[in-house]
Amino acid sequence: MTLARKSTGKRQAHSVAGDIGIFVFLCLVGSFMILPFVFAVVQSLKPMEELFAFPPKFFVRNPTSQNFLDLLMRTNNMWVPFERYIYNSFFITVLGTGLSVVVCSMAAFPLAKFTFPGSKAFERLIVLALLFVYEVTFIPQYILLSQLKLIDSIWVLIIPVVASPLGLYLMKNFMSQLPGDIIESATVDGCGTFAIFMRIVMPNVKPAWITLLILSFQSLWNRDTGSYIFTEQLKNLPAIFRQISASNTIATAGIASASAVILMLPPIAVFLFTQNKVVETMAYSGIKG
């Protein structure tokens, strides 16, 4: 009995020490990951003399909201109403994100659960497409979009995100984990393919499409329209903030920091709103990754 109690006590001590070590490690990693956001907020609150102080200081000594006020003043003096840029950003982001989730999910379902001629070739092509970064495909993509007469329209940003190899790969891999018996049982009960997709597959792969929603939202929200859209009424917030900041690099340094903070807020809000749903669904969906 004494030996058993000693071994149990040692295990509990090791368990507590391990939990403390993991907690400290996660705190360090979390602090490192949140550091860029903290730095951006601190920079946006610095007055001009602190922005260009040498040696530079990380923390602000005399915080001010003047950078945000200057940004607001500049946006009010534009000949296109600033509300138009806000509307364009949200319209492009929301529409593109919704289409991305729908198209990638519908394309991934037959690849994950059906075998047809060329299915293996399609899977290899998707994996191959993941190897190419945006900088490599920019010129061919621009030429293709130009030939499709999509330059200088909102669709020039939406269509490339809708046809996302990463989104298709993510949804396909997650749907492959669903047991085939569920789909076979639904087929025997008289469910059609679309009903199976909507009522069985999509609820069970909720973590995957919410993750795709977060990635698509972030990609579209931060996408600058400057290389594709030239009509002023169609530009979005990143494009107009870049124009304001580029007008005078020294004088607009604080404005650039303030605009960076504003652009960070919607993706962070979407992530905070959806992260609990991802964790909860993965815990109770019965799917094991």
Task: Give the domain range for residue 27.
Answer: 2-44
The answer to whether the beta carbons of residues 24 and 42 sit under 8 Å apart is: no
Per-residue confidence (pLDDT) for residue 99, from 0 to 100:
92
Name every residue whose Cβ is closer than 8 Å to that of residue 65 and which is 6 or more positions away in sequence.
Answer: 45
Is 104 strand, coil or helix? helix
Does some domain include residue 58? no
Question: Cα dist. 162→101, 157, 192, 219 in Å?
Answer: 8, 9, 25, 11
C-beta of residue 175 within 8 angstroms of C-beta of residue 123: no
Same domain, 24 and 117: no
Q: Are residues 7 and 130 in the same domain?
A: no
139 CB burial (10 A radius; 0-12, 13-18, 19+): exposed
84 and 29 housed in the same domain: no
Q: Are residues 280 and 197 in the same domain?
A: yes
Q: What's the pLDDT at 197? A: 84
For every one of its 289 residues, what pLDDT tens digit does the chain have, with 9 covering 90 and above?
454 455 555 555 557 777 788 888 888 888 888 888 888 888 888 877 777 777 777 777 888 888 888 888 887 777 778 888 889 899 999 999 999 999 988 888 888 888 878 878 888 888 888 888 777 888 888 888 889 888 888 888 888 888 788 888 888 888 888 887 788 887 887 778 888 888 888 888 888 888 888 888 988 888 887 778 888 888 888 888 887 777 666 667 778 888 888 888 888 888 888 877 666 555 544 444 4
Nearest to 53 by CA among 61, 269, 91: 61
Same domain, 186 and 227: yes
Q: Cα(88)–Cα(128) distance, rounded to whole angstroms?
A: 33
Distance CA 181, CA 81 (A): 56
Residue 38 lies in a domain: yes
User: Do 252 and 117 share a structural domain?
Assistant: yes
Query: Is 63 a domain residue?
Result: no
Number of domains in the chain: 2
Q: Indicate which CATH number applies to the domain containing 101.
A: 1.10.3720.10
Model pLDDT, residue 94: 92
Q: How far apart are CA 112 and CA 98, in angstroms?
A: 21
